């Protein structure tokens, strides 16, 4: 049963946070020690409960976030799918990265090699700061929670203030599932309020944290995590402009597709996506420019209401900051709950990147006109760390190759003739990138590789069989994949 009748959820007190963190620390060893099949069953159990309660959860999410029903139904499906994908990952065992080196008296290093057996273990309690814009997929039972639980870590979620009742309802479903499978009850905890989040992050029992949100908020938490007496890994997914570079050729031949695709990508979910394209470079005087303006003038693109007043206020301030620049004009749109196109020149952006390479989290994008491909390339090399860079082109030529090289330097994901919104949850996904896109460029927060953030390796040296964990025993009773003496795992 979902409890969701209360109208507000009060902030968690400092004493309650301490109790939750201490309980999570106590749950760490038993949760990590549960059989992988049980761990996978819990993840699937949460997925099943989410699906079973869709009829209650989705309306609750609609009320708290103003997002539309189809979007939320799709997001819920994505969320339960994601939990099941991590369950499968747990069963496959590859995430353990088991490596066995047999003793070798002739090891050419110059000293005999002892028997060494290495596997990943859970890092310990993780604090996840939930995002406001994906009330299911990046929130209480979202990717950070799924990957940390899959790694064997207890999870404390700091709920988004944007959907507290939904957060509590989903938290209850997780609690029920843990109880059903006999997992330690405090493997999962939920806290509300900014102070509670900070207290959890700085609690000595906490071993890592994940965050999805703004650059300013994420950096402040990263600083807290790094300044602890015992610093901890902080996996922050912060801001990204997700630049789109349109070659002169594509601006002609693909004008209609790019125009309509851009308007969809900018307006979907009221532009409140971390992968929303916020800068689109187009050759000056390209037909695409006027096509876009006309399209949006003829038929304004409705976006729906924003998530909440705080997000709407932040968006208004970000837009104001960009519009205040003397060389930026409002090209079209921008009425209430309507997509907005701003315009400037590549020269302007290159002269004043700090003012203009600034995320507007909402339904707006900045069209940047360039005079020649040299300017386009200069722009591409100046955008800084990004989650995504998209290139629209007709053929692979030197300009496109140079754009791609710049994109790979800047971003975690590089797209060709496609829009970065609509992030697939799968094996080869990379949702990350150099700072400020994230605080941890070697990791991803979406896709199966996200589990690696919450694992650390331990090597057992010359440990007898009956003292080894099952994963490392010579007869491999769990049949986990293993790499022996450097060979590929099997």
Q: Where in 178-207 is the site for its own copies (CB under 8 A)?
A: 207
Select from 45-53, 102-110, 162-170, 318-326 the region that touches its own copies (CB under 8 A): 102-110
Q: Coil, strand, or helix at residue 340?
A: strand
Q: Identify which of residues 302 and 457 has a Cβ nearer to its own copies in the complex.
A: 457
Instruction: Write the Ramachandran bin of 422: left for phi over 0, alpha for psi from -120 to 50, otherwise beta.
Output: left
Q: Which of 434, 473, 476, 478 binds its own copies (CB under 8 A)?
A: 434
147's enclosing H/E stretch is helix 143-151
Q: Which of residues 7-46 bind its own copies (CB under 8 A)?
A: 29
> At residue 117, what are phi and psi to the nearest 5 degrees?
-135, 125
Q: Residue 428 and residue 461: Cα distance in Å, rounded? A: 33
Of 52 and 458, CB closest to its own copies: 458
Task: Please compute, for residue 468, the number of CA atoms within 13 A of its CA located in the half-sphere on the CB side.
Answer: 23
| Residue of 425, 445, 451, 480 that binds its own copies (CB under 8 A) | 425
| Binding of its own copies by 78 (CB under 8 A) | yes
480 sits near its own copies (criterion: CB under 8 A): no
Residues 251-270 binding its own copies (CB under 8 A) are none
Sites for its own copies among residues 329-358 (CB under 8 A): none
486 by DSSP, 3-state: which? coil
Please, which residues have CB within 8 angstroms of residue 229's CB and are 6 or more apart in sequence? 204
Which CB atom, from 113 or from 347, has the smaller least distance to its own copies? 113
Residues in region 402-421 near its own copies by CB under 8 A? 404-405, 408-409, 411-418
Return the residues of window 364-403 that contact its own copies according to CB under 8 A: 385, 396, 400-401
Compute the least distance from the CB of residue 116 to its own copies, in Å: 4
Q: Choosing from 274, 359, 375, 471, which is the catalytic residue?
A: 274
CB 5 to its own copies: min, Å:
30
**Closer residue to its own copies, CB minimum distance, 94 or 338:** 94
Site for its own copies in 222-241 (CB under 8 A): 222-223, 226-227, 230-233
Binding to its own copies by residue 121, rule CB under 8 A?
yes
What residues from 439 to 468 belong to the interface with its own copies (CB under 8 A)? 439-442, 444, 448-449, 452-453, 455-464, 466-467
Whichever of 295 and 451 has its CB closer to its own copies, that residue is 451
What is the distance between the alpha carbons of residues 357 and 436, in angstroms, rounded to a whole number?
11
274 carries an active-site annotation: yes
Q: Which two tokens stand for residue 385?
A: 């760390």
Catalytic one of 64, 75, 237, 471: 237
Tokens matching residue 52: 């079973």
What CA–CA distance (Å, rounded) separates 453 from 441?
A: 11
373 CB contacts (<8 Å, ≥6 apart)? 247, 248, 399
Rounded to whole angstroms, the Cα distance separating 304 from 315 reads 14
Burial class (CB in 10 A: 0-12, 13-18, 19+), 341: buried
* CA–CA separation, 464 and 468 (whole Å): 6
Is 430 within 8 Å of 412 (Cβ atoms)? yes
Q: Does 287 bind its own copies (CB under 8 A)?
A: no
Stretch that binds its own copies, among 92-100, 167-175, 182-190, 321-329 (CB under 8 A): 92-100
The Cα 93–Cα 469 span in angstroms is 14
Q: Which of 1, 55, 109, 324 binds its own copies (CB under 8 A)?
A: 109
CB of 416 to its own copies, least distance (A): 4
Closer to its own copies at the Cβ: 186 or 219? 219
Q: Taking CA 397 as the corner, what is the angle to CA 393 and CA 399, rounded to the nearest 5 degrees? A: 75
Look up tokens 């050729």; give the residue: 249
Choice from 185, 256, 317, 427 touching its own copies (CB under 8 A): 427
How far is Cα 368 from Cα 292, in angstroms, rounded to an integer?
13
Q: Which is nearer to its own copies, 15 or 354 (CB)?
A: 354
Catalytic residues: 237, 274
């Amino acid at each position: 049963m979902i409890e969701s009748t209360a109208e507000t959820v009060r902030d968690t007190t400092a004493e309650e946070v301490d109790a939750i963190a201490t309980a999570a620390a106590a749950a760490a060893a038993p949760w990590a020690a549960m059989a992988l099949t049980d761990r996978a069953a819990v993840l699937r159990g949460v997925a099943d409960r989410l699906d079973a309660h869709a009829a209650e959860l989705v309306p609750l999410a609609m009320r708290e976030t103003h997002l539309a029903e189809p979007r939320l139904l799709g997001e819920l499906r994505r969320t339960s799918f994601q939990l099941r994908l991590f369950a499968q990952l747990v069963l496959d065992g590859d995430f353990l990265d088991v490596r066995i080196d047999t003793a070798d008296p002739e090891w050419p290093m110059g000293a005999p090699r002892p028997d060494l057996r290495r596997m990943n273990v859970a890092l310990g309690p993780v604090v996840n700061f939930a995002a406001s814009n994906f009330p299911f997929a990046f929130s209480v039972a979202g990717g950070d929670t799924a990957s940390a639980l899959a790694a064997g870590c207890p999870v404390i979620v700091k709920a988004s203030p944007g959907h507290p009742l939904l957060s509590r309802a989903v938290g209850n479903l997780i609690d029920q599932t843990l109880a059903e499978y006999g997992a330690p009850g405090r493997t999962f905890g939920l806290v509300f309020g900014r102070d509670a989040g900070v207290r959890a992050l700085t609690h000595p029992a906490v071993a890592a944290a994940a965050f999805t949100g703004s650059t300013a908020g994420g950096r402040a938490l990263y600083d807290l995590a790094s300044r602890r007496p015992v610093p901890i890994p902080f996996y922050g997914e912060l801001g990204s402009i997700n630049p789109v570079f349109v070659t002169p050729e594509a601006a002609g031949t693909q004008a209609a597709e790019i125009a309509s695709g851009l308007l969809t990508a900018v307006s979907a979910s009221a532009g409140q996506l971390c992968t929303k394209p916020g800068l689109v470079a187009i050759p000056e005087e390209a037909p695409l420019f006027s096509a876009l303006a006309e399209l949006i003038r003829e038929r304004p693109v409705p976006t729906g209401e924003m998530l909440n007043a705080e997000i709407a206020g932040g968006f208004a301030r970000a837009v104001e900051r960009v519009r205040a620049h003397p060389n930026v004009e409002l090209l079209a749109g921008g009425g209430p709950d309507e997509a907005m196109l701003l315009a400037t020149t590549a020269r302007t952006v290159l002269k004043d990147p700090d003012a203009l390479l600034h995320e507007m989290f909402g339904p707006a994008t900045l069209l940047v006109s360039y005079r020649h491909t040299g300017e386009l390339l200069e722009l591409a090399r100046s955008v800084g760390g990004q989650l995504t860079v998209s290139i629209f082109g007709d053929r692979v030529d030197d300009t496109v190759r140079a754009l791609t090289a710049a994109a790979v330097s800047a971003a975690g994901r590089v797209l060709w003739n496609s829009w970065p919104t609509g992030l697939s949850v799968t094996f080869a996904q990379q949702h990350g990138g150099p700072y400020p896109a994230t605080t941890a460029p070697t990791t991803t927060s979406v896709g199966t590789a996200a589990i690696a953030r919450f694992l650390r390796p331990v090597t057992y040296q010359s440990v007898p069989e009956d003292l080894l964990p099952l994963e490392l025993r010579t007869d491999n009773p769990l049949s986990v994949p293993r790499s022996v003496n450097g060979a590929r795992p099997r």
